Structure 1
């Protein structure tokens, strides 16, 4: 099956080859050998619900720049991220691996087992960022094809150099303040000048480039400019108005990045990919997020539109298939004519994006872990959910991973399997597992084939 989880084979391969020198498959250059490889712009929203865009049908939030991008792109309205938390989600985009494989399952080591800023805690932080060294990252793979690369915004895995970027903004751990982006978090909120300078340099050197644009937007603090907030203030609670304005502000900055590409006459040879790192449902009574959003495997946590634009090579239009951010890594490499590591769990979607043919996959998978990592060497110690979506069906399996500091906000209220019909019940209000034991058993088997759990147990059996 094309969607099989590579955990056992991948880890065995790591042991044999001792690092990131994988075997590779050469992807064809979509424009032919005579053409310069396309530039790549990766636009990554931070904490935004899947339907909080005009083009996704939101009645109030204004996103004209992303609306225009959608008109020019292959649009997957049923896109997903495998893990609904920023660090593991971004690490998946960087490496093309699920969190249970790349090992960065949460944002931080648990302070329960090592006091923050203690020597042991810092040692564990260092070990956690070392996991990226097990893989050849997206910018590293493109670098072997001659690409320059620039990191800005959210980034957790040390400095931009540690992630394989040739240029960037984040100093990263262990530098003071280096946790999830530090200097890079100014991008967008304080303009895009570092990106503009980088693009000028790449154009001058006639080099293809990768932009990792992952601004701290619409992420809290929700402090939008008054000129944008005033659009929403009168008709919504202030917490909602601020969040809506943040989505609007993020869209505005995406427009600035895309205009920069257009102004340099680079549009026709630039692949633009859009995704969000995880969902967010704004609380109407506070600045926090509501249940069943960030950190959870419900639609509010894992669903996102995913867009691909490459004029003349990717067909614009609505795509009805399921897709996942796990596919972004191999698809970008294919578009660049770069080498694709063998055994990646995601699909290279470029042939289908070019031809318009249906994607040959019927099921996507994901997993949820605690925000604070109980054991950085054992992902299953923090495992809370495994899930699968096939057609209209979505199955969540619940595990007894150690609860985290957000457990009171996102309790695992249903201990058994949860099955939803996403067509009839898109808000997942009705667990119909007990009425569809055959579907539960079928999807549970697929989940086990994808990611075999060795130690944790389901809280309630899924046997019909």
Structure 2
């Protein structure tokens, strides 16, 4: 085929780039993802636009930076009016469907204001990032004294589990994400001390195989329709627990040592120190806790890879590999104790650099199969890539889409000139912002990385942080206060300010339309600065020259 007919967009949640064997992990073997990389292009410097699920995904789904689309934290709604992946692809004649997670909150107030009913076709799409939903499962059904975190979480999956004999009001927690002792007591996966225990569920009923089957069910039902399927896996995101045989596959001999230094621990930077001292940072900085969590985390990744084997094998057997573009990536990484932190909410590569593998079935991509691309790319580049693969010209949308299509790189074209990548994080709703006494406008930070130098700017009056990844690839030495790098920081601030000045809010008229409008107002009768008709082209002033009108001034008008 000249172009891919369909797109399978696979996103894992919280998968580190360096925990795949094709990216260099020495002990965690991922032969199925590696096999896909051998058929496509593996990108080594792909960056997300925020180190948190919700805003990162919204950037990928809109092709826009976080402070362009405004969904800056988990459960901050994507405002009505933002064009999404589904909007762009349906315009190109391709359906756009979800199987799995988005972590998107609907703009209920905006929909009410505009009279959009949630159960209408348009209302449902606006509520779901523009996707038509085959099955949404954000993989989150925790419950506390204030109720459920997500009342809609894991509903269909819980129904499936009950049908398989897993009893209770929340089998997602009691079986899929917990262990059990010999007397039947549930050992919650929320407690990190239980992470090295096997989940109390048959492996084939756990979340990752379940979503693989649901993805295949969707694809099988599409017939000859053109589609993008966003198969969005929940794992290896916490709760960190996995069923056998994966729970017993990895031990201390397989773990990479944590990347951290005493100088980092002794930092004078209040924000960095605050993230280190968060409960998850303190927990994952303990070797005994990290060892338990890594057993589960690596087991979850191994299970993900095995399911990629199931999926890719089925696509090959059914002939769908011949006409389906396949993308594998993650919404962010996981610190796993590196830099004395857990979770993902900072700007080291452990968190914001992600795996990105793209298989393009087109013959035009044959020359790049099995190659590695070191170009700086961003996850918001995926949407313009999909638009182009669907047969449309993404340059017509360059006033909306802030990324650039990767298709030229997939098909042997020259690497694009990109001076830097950007990432941002709004931590105004976090406990740290309260501890630091910050107004929400000041609890924000931005990263700019030019391929060597990575600088983090903090609102709120805090000094920047700076890392030289050529000399210090582990990002252990903060040069943010070093006089020797003053010029480097100034140059990076210039890049950051230029990026912040882009016209991201102007999305209702294209750049092409603006170019075409130049000088056109005169042709509709607007003449600015014209002293006399002789200065203008005759056809421009024709409606104003040689006209007659009755004299209506004073007494003459009365006559």
TM-score, normalised to structure 1, is: 0.74
Assess if the C-alpha contact under 8 Å between 2:55 and 2:66 holds in 1. Answer: yes
Instruction: Please state how far the C-alpha of 1:194 moved relative to its aligned partner.
Output: 2.2
Structure 1 Cα separation of the partners of residues 211 and 402 of structure 2: 36
4+ aligned runs moved over 3 Å, structure 1: 158-161, 176-187, 233-236
Structure 2 Cα separation of the partners of residues 180 and 232 of structure 1: 34
Structure 2 Cα separation of the partners of residues 85 and 365 of structure 1: 14
Change (3 A) 1:277 1:180: farther
Assess if the C-alpha contact under 8 Å between 2:71 and 2:78 holds in 1. Answer: no
Instruction: Please state how far the C-alpha of 1:273 moved relative to its aligned partner.
Output: 1.3
Quote the RMSD (CA, aligned, Å).
Answer: 3.0
Instruction: Please state how far the C-alpha of 1:144 moved relative to its aligned partner.
Output: 2.7
Instruction: Please state how far the C-alpha of 1:331 moved relative to its aligned partner.
Output: 0.9
Residue number in structure 2 paired with 1:394: 454
Instruction: Please state how far the C-alpha of 1:424 moved relative to its aligned partner.
Output: 1.7
2:230 is the alignment partner of 1:212: yes
Change (3 A) 1:179 1:48: farther
Name the SS of the counterpart of 1:93 in structure 2. helix
Q: Which runs of 5+ in 2 are unaligned?
A: 107-123, 141-147, 158-205, 256-290, 434-438, 503-559
2:168 is the alignment partner of 1:196: no
Name the SS of the counterpart of 1:396 in structure 2. strand
Structure 2 Cα separation of the partners of residues 195 and 431 of structure 1: 44
Residue number in structure 2 paired with 1:437: 486
Assess if the C-alpha contact under 8 Å between 1:155 and 1:181 holds in 2. Answer: no
The within-5 A match list for 1:118-197 is 128-129=76-77, 131=79, 133-158=80-105, 161=125, 162=127, 163-170=129-136, 178=150, 182-183=154-155, 188-197=208-217
Name the SS of the counterpart of 2:303 in structure 1. helix
Name the SS of the counterpart of 1:329 in structure 2. helix
Aligned with 1:361 (options 414, 418, 424): 418
Name the SS of the counterpart of 1:243 in structure 2. helix
Instruction: Please state how far the C-alpha of 1:45 moved relative to its aligned partner.
Output: 1.5
Residue number in structure 1 paired with 2:202: none
Change (3 A) 1:388 1:170: same
Structure 2 Cα separation of the partners of residues 301 and 152 of structure 1: 24
Change (3 A) 1:436 1:157: same
Instruction: Please state how far the C-alpha of 1:245 moved relative to its aligned partner.
Output: 0.5
Name the SS of the counterpart of 1:318 in structure 2. strand
Residue number in structure 2 paired with 1:82: 49
Structure 2 Cα separation of the partners of residues 49 and 58 of structure 1: 11
Task: State how many pairs are aligned.
Answer: 377
Change (3 A) 1:184 1:422: farther
Residue number in structure 2 paired with 1:370: 427
Instruction: Please state how far the C-alpha of 1:447 moved relative to its aligned partner.
Output: 0.3
Which has the higher Rg, Structure 1 or Structure 2? 2
Assess if the C-alpha contact under 8 Å between 2:381 and 2:404 holds in 1. Answer: yes
Assess if the C-alpha contact under 8 Å between 1:370 and 1:382 holds in 2. Answer: no
Change (3 A) 1:143 1:290: farther
Assess if the C-alpha contact under 8 Å between 2:429 and 2:440 holds in 1. Answer: no
Structure 2 Cα separation of the partners of residues 85 and 51 of structure 1: 18
Residue number in structure 2 paired with 1:123: none
Cα deviation digits, residues 183-223 of structure 1 (max 9, x gap): 47775253523222211111x2x111111111111011222
Change (3 A) 1:272 1:68: same
Change (3 A) 1:178 1:260: farther
Instruction: Please state how far the C-alpha of 1:371 moved relative to its aligned partner.
Output: 6.9
Residue number in structure 1 paired with 2:364: 313
Structure 1 Cα separation of the partners of residues 340 and 293 of structure 2: 12
Name the SS of the counterpart of 1:273 in structure 2. strand
Bigger fraction of residues in helix: 2
Structure 1 Cα separation of the partners of residues 153 and 322 of structure 2: 31
Cα deviation digits, residues 314-333 of structure 1 (max 9, x gap): 32211121111011111111
Change (3 A) 1:181 1:54: farther
Cα deviation digits, residues 44-87 of structure 1 (max 9, x gap): 11112221111111122121111111112211111110100000
Assess if the C-alpha contact under 8 Å between 2:60 and 2:382 holds in 1. Answer: yes
2:401 is the alignment partner of 1:342: no
